[in-house]
Amino acid sequence: MSEKNIALVTGASRGIGLAIAQALAAQGLDIVGTATGDAGLDAIEQALAPSGALRAALKLDVTDKASLAAFFEALEAASLAPLVLINNAGVTRDNLLLRMKDEEWETVMAANLDAVFALTRRLLRPMVKARYGRIVNVTSVVGVSGNAGQSNYAAAKAGVIGFTKSLAQEIANRGITVNAVAPGFIDTDMTRKLNDDQKSGALARIPMGRMGTAEEIAATVAFLVSDGAAYITGETIHVNGGMYMA
């Protein structure tokens, strides 16, 4: 199979990442999915292997440079050079800035911004050589709206948007598109941990009056990867039920 038909999805074991991997598989792509541990790798295998769409499930902790290096070695050993990259993996370490520890800032930056740079730079050369590529970076509504207690996360996600726009301008003439998708309040494991008051407060800010689904984010990513989106680059697509209107 052509490398054009292989997509690398980081953080593919659950939630938005798994939904993206499944949507791209349904679109005919083979999937290389990553997870931080064995349980996550098993989840990817169980979800994608039966369909025949799974090319590889590989361990990757995007907060750890050594893990990134080992992941790149594993890709090379398997002779994999995907031409579709979905930078989805990320973490939060919420805190008010006055209480925020260096580790909370650095971990969020490493996972949500530094890893996007490292992964994209590594996979970009094969895309340039092929004169084809699709890069989709999962950012967040808080990268444009801000959110109290998330100055680290908001800063990293805003950085992803700036990164997306800049890279799109650098490589548009090589047949490579670079876009971002900014989810709002999405029904995932993370949001299910919120208490009723927190959920009610968030829902009150959403004109549609409900949380989004991982599948709705995945559908947007799948479109941006498709041939129908070949003339779209440098954009941030907001999927938030009207919570924030750019």
Q: What is the CATH number of the domain that holds 215?
A: 3.40.50.720
The answer to whether residue 226 sits within a structural domain is yes
Q: Which residue has the tokens 């949500």?
A: 112
In a domain, 84, yes or no: yes
244 lies in some domain: no
* Domain count along the chain: 1
Residue 191 falls within a domain, yes or no?
A: yes
Q: Which residues carry out catalysis?
A: 153
pLDDT interval class at 3 (50, 70, 90): low
Band of pLDDT at residue 198, cut at 50, 70 and 90: confident
Has residue 245 been placed in a domain?
A: no
What are the φ/ψ torsions at residue 87 (nearest 5 degrees)? Answer: -85, 95
In a domain, 246, yes or no: no
Task: Give the up-direction half-sphere exposure of residue 6: CA atoms within 13 A in the CB hemisphere.
Answer: 20
* CA–CA gap between residue 185 and residue 10 (Å, rounded): 20
Q: Which amino acid is at 30?
A: D
For residue 116, give its domain range: 3-239
Could you tell me the pTM of the whole model?
0.95
Over residues 46-97, the pLDDT tens digits come to 999 999 999 999 999 999 999 999 999 999 999 999 999 999 999 999 999 9
Q: Is the pLDDT of residue 110 over 70?
A: yes
pLDDT tier, 1 (very low <50, low <70, confident <90, very high otherwise): very low
Say what the pLDDT of residue 191 is: 78
**What integer pLDDT is reported at residue 133 of this predicted model?**
97
H or E element at residue 59: strand 54-59
Instruction: Give a yes or no: residue 69 inside a domain.
Output: yes
SS3 34: strand
pLDDT above 70: percentage of residues in the chain:
98
Burial 19-46 (b: 16+ CB within 10 A, else e): bbbbbbbebebbbbbbbbeeebbebbee
In a domain, 133, yes or no: yes
